[in-house]
A and B are shown apart, each in its own frame.
Chain A
Amino acid sequence: MVGKDVKLPGTYLKGDEMYKLPGLVEHRPEAKYEFASGQAQGRFLQGLKEGKILGVKCPRCGRVYVPPRMYCEYCMAPTTEWVELSGEGEVHTAVVSYISTFRARLEKPEIIAVIRLYAPGYTGKPDEYEFPGIFHKLCNVEPDDVVSGRIIGARVRPRWRPPEERRGSVTDIECFEPVVEG
């Protein structure tokens, strides 16, 4: 019987009790890596530098991949055909972040979104489970647009950094912003 009154092993340390114990070892890991970007991502990053969002198309099933992969993961076929997307798409979902990577409070909240990119062969219908998409920040959007849900489904396009500032990184796109009609 493991009911509520069973005494379990484990010694709880409150607050900074740990730091008062003898023998605390501090270790700062030395772990650095240089990742090869590989063929597909390498070309994608080069495209960003040139202000283009590139995808690949599977010759077998016709799926368009953004970010591109060297092979179609559903067919296991090499993806050979590169396609340039307009960069426009619509917001699949969006949130308001009040914290940084290390959980520090941000002064100004950021809007983060998943964007479903327009691509040939994709209907954009809500029942489409898979789609070429990108994960990025939104600008010109207020927290209330997220809370109210207005932003979901809205048309957006990339705001590019000036060519001289682009480094072949996803940050060459500063953010995505709503397309103002007319």
Chain B
Amino acid sequence: MASRVAIVSMGWYGFKSSVDELSFREMMFEAATRAYETVGLDPRRDVDAFVSCQEDYWEGIAITDEFAPEPVGGVLRPTLTVAGDMLQGVAQAYMMIKTGYFDVVVVESHAKPSDITTMHGIFEMALDPLYLRPLNPPNMHFLAGLDAAAFLQRSRLGREHLAMVVAKNKRAGLSNSRASHAAPLSPDDVLSMEPVVDPLTRLDIAPFSDAAVVAVLASEEAARRFTDTPVWIEGISWITEAGTGALAWHTIGAMPGLRVAAKRALAMAGVSRIDTDTSFAEVDDRYSYVELLALEELGLGSPDEVARMLEDGDLDPGGYYPVNPSGGSLAAGVALEATAGFRLLEVYERLLAGGYEEGRERGVVASWRGPPTRTFSVAVLGV
């Protein structure tokens, strides 16, 4: 049996609408330095490989991989780029360590959406050039709108449930230093707004944030060298439902890909039910409806049951099963591929804070790469 894999340290920088004082490389350096200093790790000596998670068009640089090594200490070392979200990068590092060949692997992801002045144009580039681009969609939220409408119809939930998610997360973020979009909102504030794409209002759509996140992963043996408090990756899975050129194959109003990823990650961790075997979850909420849909696909309950928990405050930060106690992306923003890194960081820190019932010392991360993709990742962390 190969060694277990742990996160031994994490560092971050930013989580603001615009980080003007630093370039993306300097943000990466700041996040990396923080992650390394905490555990006294020298990246030039102690790390076997580096994984950077980024995409060319997000960066505005063709072959953005060029800029991956320096800021994290990866010069002349095994360094690679994953064109995927940070959890997919963590999955690569996890497997690399599991081979037994790598002991310590660093995973980095960063986002500077504030550098992009034509976000809609970039989104358009992700659409199938032959079928979707000629339709010239008026805004980039139309896919989420379709998905949300189909979900509400299938679940017979209403806009008020989406508004409750928004209010819960925006408020939860008030106590999180990374949640710069937090606000003391009520569901009525959301319901009183005009939809951007029915049924989603501006408040149902998470804004963007600039951020960099770095995680240090290690084999069990190596982890003990750096810390007394490793956080174990007990389960991890990533699933692509279909390509963005095959949107017709996507299931609208459900996320079966997330269901498969969740099933595998939970099985790996030996979790039969998230609410009995884990203590909380950080799940995708780049659109308010996604949180409810994700909870259904994670097996927390039917949409009805999830909605009832939401109404009863069970999903609040102090509730029976807190969901996005960090405030989620609705409060901390979507940091492109580092969004999954944000959720990972929240679960990591919350687990380290401790105080969990025996048998539930775990947290769940569930991530979607966002439209137009149908790629989902799920991880179970435990202490």
Contact = CB atoms under 8 A, between A and B. Distances in A.
Contacts of B32: 76
A109 B26 CA distance: 37
A37 B21 CA distance: 9
Interface in A33-70: 33-41, 69-70
Nearest to A30: B121
A18 B283 CA distance: 45
Interface in B122-146: 122, 124-125, 129-130, 133-134
Contacts, number: 78
B22 A76 contact: no
Given A30-B121, A30-B124, A35 B29 contact: no
A76 B133 contact: no
A9 interface: no
A1 to B, nearest CB: 32
Interface size, A (range): 20 to 34
Contact of A74 (B20, B57, B75): B75
B60 A31 contact: yes
B29 A70 contact: yes
B130 A23 contact: yes
B75 A39 contact: no
A38 B29 CA distance: 12
Contacts of A70: 25-26, 29
Given A30-B124, A36-B112, A36-B115, A73 B23 contact: no
A99 interface: no
Contacts of A125: none
B44 interface: yes
A50 B26 CA distance: 24
Contact of A31 (B22, B71, B122): B122
A39 B27 CA distance: 11
Given A70-B29, A76-B73, A30 B133 contact: no
A182 interface: no
Contacts of B112: 36
B214 to A, nearest CB: 12
Given A30-B124, A76-B33, A36 B44 contact: no
Interface in A98-152: none
A30 B25 contact: no
Interface in A1-47: 23, 25, 27, 29-41
A71 interface: yes
Interface residues of B: mostly helix, strand, loop or mixed?
A: helix
Report, as a range, how many residues of chain B touch the other chain.
Answer: 35 or more
B117 A29 contact: no
Contacts of A76: 32-33, 36, 42-44, 73
A71 B134 contact: no
Contacts of A39: 21-23, 26
A2 to B, nearest CB: 27
Contacts of A34: 115, 117
B95 interface: no
Contact of B29 (A29, A41, A71): A71
A19 B148 CA distance: 39
Contact of A32 (B20, B25, B73, B117): B117
B118 A71 contact: no
Contact of A71 (B19, B71, B117): B71
B120 to A, nearest CB: 7
A179 interface: no
B173 interface: no
B242 to A, nearest CB: 21
23 contacts: A23-B130, A25-B133, A25-B134, A27-B124, A27-B129, A30-B118, A30-B122, A31-B118, A31-B125, A32-B116, A33-B117, A34-B115, A35-B115, A36-B112, A36-B115, A38-B25, A69-B70, A70-B25, A73-B70, A74-B44, A76-B32, A76-B42, A76-B73
The 7 closest A-B pairs by CB, nearest first: A38-B23, A30-B121, A33-B60, A73-B70, A76-B73, A73-B75, A32-B118
Given A31-B60, A34-B117, A36-B112, 20 more contacts: A25-B134, A29-B121, A30-B124, A31-B116, A31-B125, A32-B121, A33-B115, A33-B117, A35-B23, A35-B115, A36-B20, A36-B22, A69-B70, A71-B33, A71-B71, A75-B44, A76-B32, A76-B42, A76-B43, A76-B44
